Each structure stands twice: as C-alpha cells, then as structure tokens.
C-alpha cells in the first residue's frame, strides 16, 4: 500500500493506449490510492467511460459543462496529490505547452494546485518530430514531469520510441515521485541474490536466495534519489527502475565487479547470499557416475567481499546481512564486529529466506532495533532511513 491515502486525478486522452489506463487504475487502487478519472472526448472513442467508472467506483468526468461541480476544473485538483495523464497524446502535450483550456482535462491541468505528470503515447515519428520535442521541453521548464515513453512495437506496426510505459512501470514511477529524495547525490552499490559456484558444466553449489530483499533495497535507494548499481547473482527478477544492474554468476565475479566500483560508492550494502566455498577445480566435462562412487570435490573458501570493502583506505558506509538459523543476535553482532562495519541486518532463515516478507533486526553500535514483520519493500525503506540517520551522526 505504498500510495495509501494518495488522491490521484487520472487523465485519459485519445490514444489506443487508453486501455492500459484501465489496468493502471486497478494498480492504483491496489496500492492504496483513490483516483478520479477525467477523459477527453477522443479518449471515449477508445474505451468507454463506464469501464473507468466501474473500476474507480466514481463517475467519470468527460465534459466541462456536465461536470458534478460548476468549478470542477478548479475543485478537482485542490483535493488531489497529483494529476497523471496516461496516455498523453501529442495533441494534448501541444495544448499543455500552449496553455490552452479548451476541454475539462486541459483546463484543470492549467488551473492545477498539485503536481502534473504525463505519460506520452504516440507514433514514433510523432514522438521524434521537432515540434513534439519543443513542446516537451516547455513542459519540463514548467515543472511538469514526463514519464517515458518506452520503445517497442507500436499499434501502427512500426517499431521505436513512443509507446506508453506499461501500467506497472507507471505505478513504480508514481511511487518514486512521492518518495522524498533523501539520498539525492549519493552513490549506492549493492549485491543481491545467490552466487553459483560451478562444479562441472551443469552442476554447482548455490542456495535458495531469491534476490527479493536485495532488489527491494536497490529499489528503495533509487526511489530516494540515489544513483544505484546492483551487482546481482542469478535470479529471475526485473531490474528496478533507474537501477544499473550487473549480472554475475560466481563469488569471484561478484567480488571483481564490487571492487571495481567500491571506491566511488558512498554506501555499500552486501545483501547477496554469497557461497562460502567453491570447488577448487571445475571439471571441464560433466561428471559421470562411476560404480556408485561419488566424485571427490575439494572445496576452497571464497573471499569475504564485505570485509574487503570495509578494509579499503576510504571505505563507503558498509552494511551487511546475516541470515541465521539460531542465536541471531550473538552471531549477527559477532559478524558485524569481525567485519568492522557500522550496521548489519539480521534475520532468521525460516522467517524470510526466499519469500516476499521478512522480520529483521538492525544491529549497530547502539544495539538491536527490531522491525515488525512486513513486506520486504517496506523493510527496505526502513533500512534506508536507518542508514541515512546513522550517516548523519558520523
């Protein structure tokens, strides 16, 4: 419920992408927001107002003269936290740039008392046209936020930039928009997911880490305005918006990627469940059964990436994770002291490993700070707030 209590005016203009606005409306409700839909006349040619009325539970406004208030173009935005126009056609963008008020959506955008965001949707040549680019630059100068567009196959059959962002991406962008930019100007480096230590071309040593916690922390840092680089082991997750992801497989690959970037980072958060050991020798061919005798695999210890970063001459603010099956406080604090880091996040494996929720304790010099069980996205935001508070005390 990241948008709990937020009031959104959702503007829909005349594009084939209008059907995506219906999906966006459902996502807004699922995130805790309430939305009032305003459609242009052209938008009603693509999706009927009844669809949006059913999804929002409120009448859809389409006509300045038939609105539920004689001052609807003023009243609507006085109670709103933001206006989001999705899709925003080239025509609507042009009318915004000119300051026109020739329909209800344009008029309330001009008379707004809240932020305005637009999600462009148009043919690639319309998007690339110098007139459209000039209009968008005017919008940016006027403080209007542009979300997208994306590139891909378009309804006309052509391919290129101009597609409206998908509803899930728009929801992410809206959540980020409302997040205070407390980490603006900071560079955050993270690791996430498991590592895979090959034994032969098809087998290896790994663990059940899903990467969910690490990806949630990367997302929270990016939404707070940080420049985020995520060094990820093998997971099946999309990269969070505005996050540079670097895929690796083994602990040695992860170490190399981290050490290459650690000196420039302000914060390093080691969330990855790095394998403690790897095979000393990787078999060049698949190991075969041999008369029921298992092959001998000699293991060697992997490097401690977090300890190496913490030992740099000018280390970033280092945060570790300790997933334990027992004696959480003792083991986590011992690990924190041993690695010489200011903060470690401890959790019991049975309460968070591989799932979407977690229960953690933040251990620092002041002791343990338990966080209630919650979705990992919420825990990630609380963790970033705690990191920022500790950094401000230094």
Which residue numbers are catalytic? Answer: 156
Between 18-30 and 167-178, two packed helices, what is the crossing angle to 10 degrees?
Answer: 50
Buried b (16+ CB within 10 A) or exposed e, 40-63: bebbbebbebebbeebbeeebbbe
Report residue 370 as tokens.
Answer: 């338990």
Cβ neighbors of 176 (< 8 A, separation 6 or more) are: 222, 223, 241, 242
Alpha helices in the chain (DSSP H): 18-30, 49-56, 72-78, 90-98, 104-110, 124-128, 130-141, 167-178, 212-223, 251-261, 305-310, 328-339, 349-352, 376-393
Question: Could you write out the three-class secondary structure of 91-102?
Answer: HHHHHHHHCCCC
Q: What is the DSSP letter of 266?
A: S
Residue 11 burial class via C-beta count within 10 angstroms: exposed 0-12, middle 13-18, buried 19 and up: buried
> Are the C-beta atoms of residues 80 and 107 closer than 8 Å to each other?
no
Between 167-178 and 212-223, two packed helices, what is the crossing angle to 10 degrees?
Answer: 60
Residue with tokens 């209009």: 135
Cis peptide before 87 (omega within 30 of 0): yes
Closest residue by Cα to residue 213 from 356, 325, 359, 324:
356
Q: Between vectors from CA 31 to CA 381 and to CA 359, what angle results, nearest 5°?
A: 40
- Cα separation, 387 vs 105, whole angstroms: 42
């Amino acid at each position: 419920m990241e948008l709990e209590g937020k009031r959104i005016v959702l503007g829909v203009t005349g594009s084939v992408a209008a059907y995506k606005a219906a999906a966006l409306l459902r996502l807004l409700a699922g995130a805790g927001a309430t939305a009032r839909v305003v459609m242009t006349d052209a938008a009603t040619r693509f999706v009927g107002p009844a669809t949006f009325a059913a999804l929002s539970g409120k009448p859809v406004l389409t006509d300045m003269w038939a609105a539920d208030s004689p001052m609807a173009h003023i009243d609507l935005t006085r109670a709103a936290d933001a206006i989001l126009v999705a899709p925003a056609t080239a025509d609507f963008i042009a009318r915004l740039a000119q300051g026109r008020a020739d329909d209800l959506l344009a008029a309330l955008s001009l008379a707004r008392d809240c932020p305005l965001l637009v999600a462009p949707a148009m043919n690639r040549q319309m998007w690339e046209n110098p007139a459209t680019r000039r209009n968008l630059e005017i919008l940016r100068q006027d403080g209007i936020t542009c979300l997208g567009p994306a590139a891909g196959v378009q309804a006309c059959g052509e391919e290129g930039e101009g597609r409206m962002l998908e509803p899930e991406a728009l929801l992410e962008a809206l959540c980020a928009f409302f997040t205070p930019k407390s980490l603006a100007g900071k560079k955050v480096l993270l690791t996430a997911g498991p590592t895979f230590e090959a034994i032969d071309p098809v087998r290896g040593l790994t663990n059940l880490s899903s990467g969910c916690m690490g990806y949630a922390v990367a997302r929270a840092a990016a939404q707070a305005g940080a420049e985020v680089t995520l060094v990820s082991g093998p997971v099946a997750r999309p990269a969070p918006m505005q996050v540079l992801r670097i895929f690796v497989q083994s602990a040695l690959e992860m170490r190399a990627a981290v050490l290459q970037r650690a000196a420039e980072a302000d914060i390093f958060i080691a969330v990855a469940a790095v394998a403690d050991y790897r095979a000393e020798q990787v078999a060049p061919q698949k190991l075969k059964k041999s008369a029921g005798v298992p092959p001998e695999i000699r293991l060697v210890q992997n490097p401690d990436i977090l300890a190496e970063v913490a030992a740099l001459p000018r280390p970033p603010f280092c945060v570790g994770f300790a997933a334990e099956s027992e004696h959480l406080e003792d083991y986590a604090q011992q690990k924190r002291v041993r690695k010489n880091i200011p903060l470690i996040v401890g959790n019991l494996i049975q309460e968070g490993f591989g799932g979407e929720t977690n229960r953690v304790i933040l251990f620092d010099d002041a002791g343990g700070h338990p966080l209630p069980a919650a979705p990992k996205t919420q825990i990630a935001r609380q963790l970033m707030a705690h990191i920022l508070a500790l950094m401000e005390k230094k």
